[in-house]
Chains A and B, each alone.
Chain A
Amino acid sequence: MARNPYLPYSARIDEVVVENEARDIKTFRLVFEDPSSAAEFRYLPGQFAELSLPGVGEAPFGIASSPTEADYLLFTIKRMGLFTAELHSLEAGTDIGVRGPMGKPFPWDQMAGKNLLIVGGGFAFTTLRAAIKYILDPANRTQFGSVLVIYGARVPGELMYKEALAEWQARDDIDVHLTVDKADKSWTQHEGVVTTVLQGLKPSPENTLALVCGPPIMIRFALLSLGSLGFADDAIVLSLEMRMKCGIGKCGRCNIGSKYVCKDGPVFTYQELRALPAEY
């Protein structure tokens, strides 16, 4: 019989890493209690899962790890509401439920053989981290062309995954540009919003797919920039956030037009999004 879709897998918080200076973004490393759960939980970057705490409830989060990191799941979460506040108070060793994976991943089939432009802002970089990890895996890297990453935050202290960023910047099979809205004394990289860097680098739209995740204001300007650079609407891939409950297309909460963000998304091309009401 099929598994009860409301029943979370049992997992444990294995490690908690504070990602930013404001200390309101943390990465939680989760390990399944039963190794067979890990085998069942097959996902691709771009998908999400519902984390579950008894008595608190559930909330959906993009998976920040790549399936190539076999032993654990990563979730990078900003303290925001009821659930995330509770989650942030938890330490390594605490039990937690995971329900998923849910939704559609980034369009990996379509991405094969293409150059990739990855544009991220703020703490929405989580599933993009998963995507980059996945792309850079030795077993996968050859499937893709060039990879250009532009990642921005308000200030240097708000950039997440600092170790990984440094490691990627040291490699020659990926070009990572970091930018901050407001630099401090130690900052030596770009200063300015993501779109400024994008306009400066002028990536070619030729055989290229763009993955874009960030705050609404960044998305708005990034879409304008990409458009002016010649990117077609169906070559731009975005990920939506909506309030969700069931995660399996029944509770109606994430319904936008005839789509359900939880099962038809959260990943949509800009072309698909344009056909939907702007209720997100």
Chain B
Amino acid sequence: MTEKQITRTDLDKLLGFFRERGAVYAPAKDEAGDVALTEVGRAASVVLAYTNFRLSPKAFFFPQNQTLLRFNDGRAEEVGVIDRATVLFGVRPCDARALLALDQVFLDGHQDDPYYAGLRARTTVVALACMRPASSCFCTSVGGGPGDGTGSDVLAVALETDLLLRAQTPKGEELLSFAADLLADAMPAAVKEAQERIRAAENKIAPVEVANSAERLRKAYDSYVWETASQKCLGCGTCSFLCPTCHCFDITDEVRGGTGRRVRTWDCCAYALFTLQASGHNPRPTPKERWRQRIMHKFRYAVENFDRPFCMGCGRCIRNCPVSMDLRTMLKEVGP
């Protein structure tokens, strides 16, 4: 496992160097003042002080609109994924870890999703350890942590003056060796500083009881809490669309005169139409069943199928719910 370091002032140079191979995205402020993953141009002004991006980086792998097929004169044709090497710098560990969950769905080894596979293969993820978790964060309760490198190819840790870079995968090793000339071997002091900083961040995160959620939810399927908790749910898709692991999608055709495309778009289990059948029958007819599905899918079904909750504790759904629903409260309410 290669460990390198570079002074923070040379970060722009490093990202500029990565650009020689393709596209580089790094955190920068947008017009509204929010930090977002932005394509790095010649003059990068990378920001390292941020909690997390408004949108999860899942769209780099599972775009909100993905053309699945083109139709020409009524004939279906495949579309390819543009093979443009891409580096995402500054992804938070929670969002990087979410890629493992998405991998389990889209690359199930049975029928791999070629579009996800293509985008995943072309992208190298450099996670940046999180030094300023928000009060809505609970990554440490769902198996992750502010310095967790799983899901990323390289884990970066911002230190006082330097940036520590630790390869997590062969792809990450390759990226670091590509930039070897710009990097120095990590000093023990840097490694120690990184450890301390990560520990300090960990200590800021309040734990949430999710350890035995699958078991608790199994018992709580018929609980009254679903009815009461879902009363205030508006049935919008904010939580799902911002969630780094939510991956449900719709497929629709956009065709005029035999020409057009079949496109995959994000969808959401909170929508009444999600399961509505042509006959008018809806297996999940009210917000109660739909809200239960969302929680069950994340904390029970995913655990049963993939051995992990499909929640990375990023807190986006908590911060952005228009009526301030909090799934941590929900997990408490389902009982022991």
Contacts and interface: CB of A to CB of B under 8 A. Distances in A.
Consider the complex of A and B and state whether they touch directly, i.e. have CB atoms less than 8 Å apart. yes
Interface of A: 2, 4-8, 10, 52, 54-59, 80-84, 95, 97, 241-243, 245-246, 248-253, 255-258, 263, 277, 279-280
Given A243-B277, A246-B251, A251-B249, A257 B301 contact: yes
Given A55-B255, A250-B105, A6 B69 contact: yes
A250 B253 contact: no
B222 to A, nearest CB: 9
A80 B278 contact: yes
Contacts of B293: 255, 279
Given A7-B69, A52-B76, A56-B253, A243 B114 contact: no
6 A-B pairs with the lowest CB-CB distances in the bound complex, closest first = A81-B278, A55-B255, A252-B248, A258-B304, A80-B278, A258-B301
A55 B258 contact: yes
B209 interface: no
A255 B306 CA distance: 14
Contact of A2 (B112, B247, B260): B112
B301 A55 contact: no
Contacts of A59: 278
Chain A CB count within 10 A is highest, among B75, B110, B114, for B114
A274 B247 CA distance: 27
A33 to B, nearest CB: 10
Contacts of A84: 278
A97 B74 CA distance: 10
Interface string B268-282: 010000111111000
Interface of B: 68-69, 71, 74-76, 78, 105-106, 108, 110-114, 221, 247-253, 255-256, 258, 260, 262, 264, 267, 269, 274-279, 283-284, 289, 293, 296-297, 300-301, 304-305
24 contacts: A5-B113, A6-B78, A54-B258, A55-B71, A55-B253, A57-B251, A58-B251, A80-B278, A82-B278, A95-B74, A97-B76, A242-B277, A243-B277, A245-B250, A248-B113, A249-B110, A250-B105, A250-B108, A251-B248, A251-B249, A251-B267, A252-B248, A253-B248, A279-B284
Contacts of B256: 55
A6 B253 contact: no
A55 B112 CA distance: 25
Nearest to A58: B251
Contact of A249 (B69, B111, B114, B277): B111
B324 to A, nearest CB: 25
A251 B200 CA distance: 39
A4 B255 contact: no
B15 to A, nearest CB: 33
Nearest to B279: A80
A252 B300 contact: no
Contacts of B74: 54, 95
A197 to B, nearest CB: 25
A101 to B, nearest CB: 12
A2 B157 CA distance: 39
A258 B307 CA distance: 12
Nearest to B252: A57
Given A5-B111, A57-B252, A243 B276 contact: yes
A2 B105 CA distance: 17
